[in-house]
Amino acid sequence: MIDPRTVIPTLPEACRSYFAELFRNLPAGVESMIAPRRMRAGEILARRQDEASTVYLLLEGRIRVLDEHYSGEVYAFAEFEAPSLFGEFEAFAGCERYRATLACATDCALFSLPAAAFLEWMRRDQHALFMRTVQITKKLLGQASSERRFRFASAQDRLVLYLTEAYRGGERRGVCKLEVTRQEIADETGYCLKTIQRCLAALKRRGLISAEGAKIVMDAEQYSGLVALSPTWSGGAGAATANEENIP
């Protein structure tokens, strides 16, 4: 094990200043529990329903948060840049399993430590606990705001968000082939089947999606077009990319 504070000076400025402050009063003994990790783009850091035994601190790169629909399709509903922490919600809440899958969107540098050691750190370090409380509160406020806006979004806005999330979670070599029924899309977006069918037909006429039999197909260019069509409150392409310093 290495003292994590020796790694901090090598980080980009934004992460360097944040983690230097977070580790300022790191209790004796906790540093020996922190391990550095490097992972490649596309690798899975943790899977939904895995034992939530570890907290991850993202030092460099981006982590994509994925969820699985009952149809089996995987959706990326958020993407976070460094500096960010993962697994702390489960640790604080006493959840035994991770609530979502974490995948590396890029090559990533991280620290990992046992969830029990993380909680002990927070109990003994008031300054670090306050920093994490501020960031968690910002994150929850941003999520609550997005959920309220989504509730009143039009069918097209919800469908576009659904499709862009599906692309981010299911894209392979620049192409996403979505194998879900139109009724499942209607159920997920909260609009009736006929409305979803009309919206899909309109997107197809505009060249923003294609079809292979019952599959909805999107390539990188079509995805960019859908992102441009995303509602402004979602942040377009930025709706799924954030770090904890700029969450509204």
Question: What are the tens digits of pLDDT across the range 47-68?
Answer: 999 999 999 999 999 998 887 6
Q: How confident is the model at residue 77 (pLDDT cuts 50, 70, 90)?
A: low
Average pLDDT score over residue span 62-86:
77
Closest to 118 in 3D by CA, of 53, 39, 24, 44: 53
Q: Which of 48-57, 132-141, 210-219, 229-238 has the lowest mean pLDDT?
A: 229-238
Tens of pLDDT along 162-195? Answer: 898 888 877 888 999 988 889 888 887 888 999 9
Q: The pTM is what?
A: 0.66
Angle CA 142–145–149, to nearest 5: 140
Domains of the chain: 4-149 (2.60.120.10), 154-230 (1.10.10.10)
How far apart (Å, rounded) are the C-alpha atoms in residues 17 and 1?
22
Average pLDDT along the chain: 85
Q: Higher-confidence residue: 246 or 211?
A: 211
Average pLDDT score over residue span 188-212:
92
- Say which DSSP state 6 is in: G
3-class secondary structure, 57: strand
What local confidence, expressed as pLDDT, does residue 74 receive? 64
Average pLDDT score over residue span 221-246:
64
Residue 132 pLDDT > 60: yes
Counting every residue written for the chain, the total comes to 248
